[in-house]
Each structure stands twice: as structure tokens, then as C-alpha cells.
Structure 1
Amino acid sequence: MPEPSLFRPFVTRPLTDTLAADIHRYIATQGLGAGQRLPERALAEQFRVSRSPIRRALERLAVERVVEARPEGGYVVTEAAMRLPREQAEEAYGAASEDDVYFRIARERLAGLLPDRFTESEFMRRYGVTRGELAAILRRMAQEGWAERLPGHGWAFLPTLASAEAYGQGYRFRLMLESGGILEPSFKLDREALLQCRAEQEALVAGAVHTASPAYLFDANSRLHETIAACSGNAFILDALKRLDRLRRLMEYQKAVDRQQAERRCREHLVLIDLLLSGQREAAADFMRVHLRQAAIEKQAGPHDVGGAGD
């Protein structure tokens, strides 16, 4: 059965059309600038589909001059995509109200104001949104791993880290997990994936870190750490990190983003990537430990302190 549209309730359309609209909205709402790369792999992970429909959606957006193909491969955001004022883009895609409701749900869930299970009708009444608007929000929550549709009827929230103590434990676990993964005997560098992550981190350091949303920063940084975990060749390491990232996402959203700290962590990511690309695994493992230890110190005090947007 075709996937339901996110913007017109009870209307179906091809997956390529849906993904093209999703990617266009993603560009408009995540602070992506002209020339910023749109890696197929990262978009496939963002929207939980294979790379083939992402490629077709990008081809569609290239025809519409929202993106353009690069001679060396891949796509980047165009100047034309930047000419539409942010307010108009958000209105066109319903993003401003969706973001408002999305983050309100996140705050109220962490505050214990929402039950473990809920129906779409209950949330439509509570948040004053249409069924189509809510469908987009629920899909995003499901993609990010903190809610799921129940068989038959309704939705349920999945467990998250809801205390500073648990949050700190998560970082201490990552100190062991991620640095150890770099030293695994099965470690095999995925150069292409790391170079894609490097391009993303370079764009953030070049200025995007000061305008990108907390959700975009979290996704970019967790994508890098999960890519390195995947290089370990140990499926348990990657699975454990992905589970932990899902658990800590909401806690990260509640922290005010210190843009200077975020830029420094992105610069550290570039150092880490370069150590791996040059084959210095021991040094990379040591650097990972220092990097995560400092991030934990900055973030561990509480859910509303400065230092969010992931790492």
C-alpha cells in the first residue's frame, strides 16, 4: 500500500513525491545554506528509507532547482532554494507549527505530563493541529525512535533518559564503548562515509553551527559517532550506541545550545576524523575519550543547562 502523505490526510502519493517534499522542508527548516552537501546516505538514515528513493527524490528536486548535482557526485543546496524567505518556506511546508508542537510534546513528555499511550484524536485536541499536521509530527517522532504506533490503535512513547544521573551514566558508557570500538580487531575504515561526515562538520564550522536547529546538530553529530561505531565491525557496539542515541535525544533537545561549545566540538570532530583517515587509531581512541569526557562535563548538570544538541 502506498505511504500516506504527510501533508494531505488520507491521500496517497508516490514515495518519491513524499521524500522530495520532506527533503525540501528539511532544507528550509534546518538552516542549510547554499552549497551545503546533501549526502544520500545521511538522508536515507534521516527518513528511514533506502538510498534509491532518496536519489530519485533528489533528481526531482534538481529539476525544480532546489538542489543541483555536483561533477564529483552527490547534490548540494542551490542559491535558488535560499531565495524563498524562511517564513514563506515554513508556511509552505507547515514546518513552523510542526516544530512548535514537536518540541512542546518533547517538553511535556520529559515533564511527565503525557501518558505512556495516546491516540491521534487526543493529540489533535490537545495541540490544536490537523490530522495531516499530526501525521508529520508522529512520523518524525517514530523516525527518531521515541514513539511508535501500536498494533491496531493508538501510539506509545518509548523509554528515554529522563534524569541527569541516567544521562551521565550514558556518557560514561560511551567512553568505554566508542573508544574501545576504534581499537577493535575488526575495525575497517569506511572512508566514503567519514568523508561525508567531514563535509557536514566542515559546513557547521564554517558558520552553519550558529543557525542550525538543535535537531540538526544532534543528527549531524550522532551520525558521525555512529559512523565510527559502524567501522568497528562489531554489531553490538553500533547497536548499543544507536539505542543510547535514541534514549538521549529528548534530553538533548531540552538543553540550551551553547553555539561556541558546539562549534568547538565540531572542530574536535574534524581532528578525530583526520586521525582515523590517516590510520592513527590509537591516537583517535585517546582523542575520543578526551572528547567525550569534556562533553559529559559540559552537559551533565541537568536537563535545562547549556550544552545541548548532541555529541
Structure 2
Amino acid sequence: MDRREKRQAQYVLANMVVDLVRSRSLKAGHHLTEQWLAQELSVSRTPVRAALRLLADAGLVESRARQGFFLAKDADEIDRSQSLTVPSTPEQDLYASVVRDRISGGLPDSMTQTEFARRYAVNRIVLLRVLSRMADEGLIARNKGQGWTFQPGLDSARALRASYDFRVTLEPAGLLLASFFADPVVLNRLRSDHETVLAAPSPPPPGILFELDAAFHETLASFSGNAYFVQAVQQQNRLRRLLEYQGYENRHRIRIWIAEHLAVLEALANGDRQQAARRLTAHLENALSASPSPDGTVEPIAVPQPNGRGSTRALGCNPVPDVHAGAGS
């Protein structure tokens, strides 16, 4: 693990400490001992000490000479917006650059490893990690000879429309299957992950946002109890990964789709699967209307309504503001 990766791990651990403090409803002045935190979080004391220093810099804990670290405020005064922004790693930076360049048409269908290294001025280890990750995600494949080839994605308006038609037909139906069961523990964890992003002062990197988005849809599919639903949703997520990346810098749209996800989760928590299915349908239709075109333009794609007219408003949902990037679907 290099220096930037260690630094990132410290920020992640610091946020885990905050979550632990909030879950235990600790009061200001509580002594946060390194040994207790290390046991609770299953890590060694050294990274805990580094995480506590970060929290002290943020004003969430107080460092007292020869005494240790103490909580600076009651847990109920610490909201999710005070979570620390986790810095990116070299791999994340390179991944984002490759994705942006591929979407914009700046990269050919096939490239050698040397061409990648020359273009992005990165070392071989970082490059191989990124290419391996992209291969695992179905974005790129190693050629039989030398080089790598980008895999087909949603690269036309027609393909995008077809993808959403398929998903609107499939995903809400999965919520209504007789075999459907929403695990309350998984449901709460998914809701907590969304609330954390919604309350953060700035959005996390695009890769994390996509994983949250994909996890939402794949988790709902897994609740269906039908492996074919899960496989279909996973395939759609692989196809749309590149296209979604170009819109994740739109903070307003990010907040919209997270709120729509939370509305679906709320209906499921209340045991109202019919309402959850309607909300999921509305969310997917809103996402299509807000999707950037595969060619990079930002013209909204009309969503057909029962009255036969195209609209960017989905039934059962409030109108989506005029934002056409970062569909989050």
C-alpha cells in the first residue's frame, strides 16, 4: 500500500469511528481509547491513532496531552454531513481519466499497454491495477495478442432507449414476485449508505457513486429470489457504466436520484411493494429523461406517456428539474 492509499484508508477509518460514535450515542467528553476503537473496528491501534488525529483536525474530537482523545460534542450533534471527504488514490484518478476520455471519443477501440502508459504518464503497477479492474467490470478485454479492447456499451440513443424499456419492464416486476423478500438488515444498510452520500458536503468520486447506484438495483433484484433477474440487472449495469460516468459531477441530479432511491426503500420498509414498484418505475423513467446522449450531447430523451405525448415527467413522481446529466438509474 503506497502513501496515498494509506492516507485514504485513514480517512475511511475516521468515518468508521464517527459512525461508531453515532451508533453508540456517546456524549461529549467520552474518552475514545485507541484500544477500544481497535477492538470495535477490528484494526490495529496505529491506524486508529492516525484516524483520531484527522478527527481532531476536523474538530470532532479533542486531543489532550498525555490523556488521549475525547469526543468534542454529543453524538446526536454529529450528522452525516460532517463525515470526512475521502481523498482519491492514483488508481481512482487514472480510472476516471480513462473513462472520461473514452466517453468523449478521445480513445480508440483498442490500445496497447505502452500507449496507455505514455498517454497517462503512470507507472506499470497502477496501470495494470486499473486495466484489471476495468476488465473485471466488463469495460475492457485483453486481446489475444498485445493490447486491450474496449467492450460495447450503450453507445447510441436507440440502445439507451432499449435498455431502459427492458429495465422498466423487468425491475419493478421483480418487487412483485411471490418469492420476493426484503432483508431488513440489508435494506437498512443500503438506506444508510444513501443517506451518508446525501448528507456529505461534496459527492464522492464517480466510481463510488456508480457502485452505490448499481448496488441499489442489484440488491432489489436479489430480493426477488430469482437469479435470472439478478443476472439481467448486473448485465445492464455493466453496459451503462461508461455512460453514467459523464454525469456524476452534477450534484443536483445526484441528490434527485438518491432521494428517489430512498423513496423506494421507504416503501419496501413499510411493506408496500406496490408503491415501491410504482416509485421504481417513475425513477427509471426520470433517469431516462435526464440521461446524457451517448454522443455527449445533453438533449433530454422524451419518455412516452399514456396520452401518447413525449414528456420528461414520469407518472407518480414530481417533475424532474431541467437537468440532463448524471441520470443515476
* Secondary structure of residue in 1 paired with 2:9: helix
Match of 2:96 in 1: 103
**Shift in Å, 1:121:** 2.1
Instruction: State the superposition RMSD in angstroms.
Output: 3.5
What SS does the aligned partner of 2:18 have? coil
Q: Which residue of 2 aligns with 1:136?
A: 129
Structure 1 match to 2:220: 228
Confirm or deny that 1:291 pairs with 2:283: yes
1:53 alignment counterpart? none
Deviation string 1:157-185 (CA, Å, 9 cap, x unpaired) is 22211223322322222111110111122
Name 2:42's counterpart in structure 1.
Answer: 59
**Cα distance in 2, alignment partners of residues 276 and 220 from structure 1:** 18
Question: Taking structure 1 as reference, are residues 107 and 257 closer, same or farther at Cα in structure 2, changes over 3 Å only?
Answer: closer
Do 1:215 and 1:309's aligned partners in 2 also have CA atoms closer than 8 Å?
no
Q: What are the Cα deviations for residues 195-219 of structure 1, in whole angstroms up to 9, with x where unaligned?
A: 11011011122235x3322222221
- Give the superposition deviation at 1:21: 5.5
1:103-122 alignment, distance < 5 Å: 103-122=96-115
Q: Going by fraction, where is helix more abundant, 1 or 2? A: 1
Residues 215/186 of structure 1: CA separation in 2 closer, same or farther (3 Å cut): same
Kindly tell me the number of residue pairs found equivalent between the two proteins: 256
Report SS of the residue matched to 2:276: helix
The 5 Å alignment of 1:214-253 reads 214-253=206-245
Give the corresponding residue for 1:271: 263
Instruction: Give the Å deviation of 1:256.
Output: 5.5
| Matching of residues 146-161 of structure 1 within 5 Å | 146-150=139-143, 154-161=147-154
Mapped contact 2:253–2:327 kept (Cα < 8 A) = no
After superposing the two structures, state which structure 1 stretch, 98-107 or 185-194, moved more: 98-107
CA distance in structure 2 between the aligned counterparts of 1:145 and 1:84, rounded to whole angstroms: 40
- Say if 1:65 and 1:81, in contact at 8 Å, map to a contact too: no
Amino acid across the alignment from 2:175 = I
Q: 2:189 matched to 1:196?
A: yes
Change (3 A) 1:157 1:277: same
Matched, 1:124 2:117: yes
Over the matched positions of the two proteins, sequence identity in percent amounts to 34
TM-score (norm 1): 0.69
CA contact (8 A) 2:246 2:326 kept: yes
Aligned residue number for residue 178 of structure 1: 171
1:126-161 deviation digits (Å, cap 9, x = unpaired)? 221110221232233234331234567543322211
Picking from 200, 206, 215, the partner of 1:207 is 200
Query: Which deviates more, 224-233 or 124-133?
Result: 124-133
Q: Match of 1:139, as an amino acid?
A: S
Cα contact 2:164–2:284 (8 A) shared by 1: yes
TM-score normalised by the chain length of structure 2: 0.66
* Greater relative contact order (Cα < 8 A, sep 6+): 1
Task: Quickly say closer, same or farther: Cα 1:120–1:62, change in 2 above 3 A.
Answer: farther
Q: 1:201 to 1:126 in 2, by over 3 A?
A: same
For the pair shown, the structure with the greater C-alpha radius of gyration is 2
Give distance in 2, aligned partners of 1:22 and 1:192.
30
Cα 1:176–1:248 change in 2 (3 A) is same
For each residue in 1:74-117, what CA deviation from the matched residue of structure 2 results, as whole angstroms up to 9, or x when unmatched?
xxxx55456789xxx85xx8x2x544432332233234443444
Q: Which ranges of structure 2 fall in alignment gaps of 5 or more residues?
A: 21-40, 59-85, 299-323
Asked if 2 retains the 8 angstrom alpha-carbon contact of 1:194 and 1:224, the reply is no
Structure 1 gap segments, 5+ residues each? 9-19, 38-57, 68-77
Equivalent position to 2:9, from 19, 24, 33: 24
Q: Output the amino acid matched with 2:9.
A: H
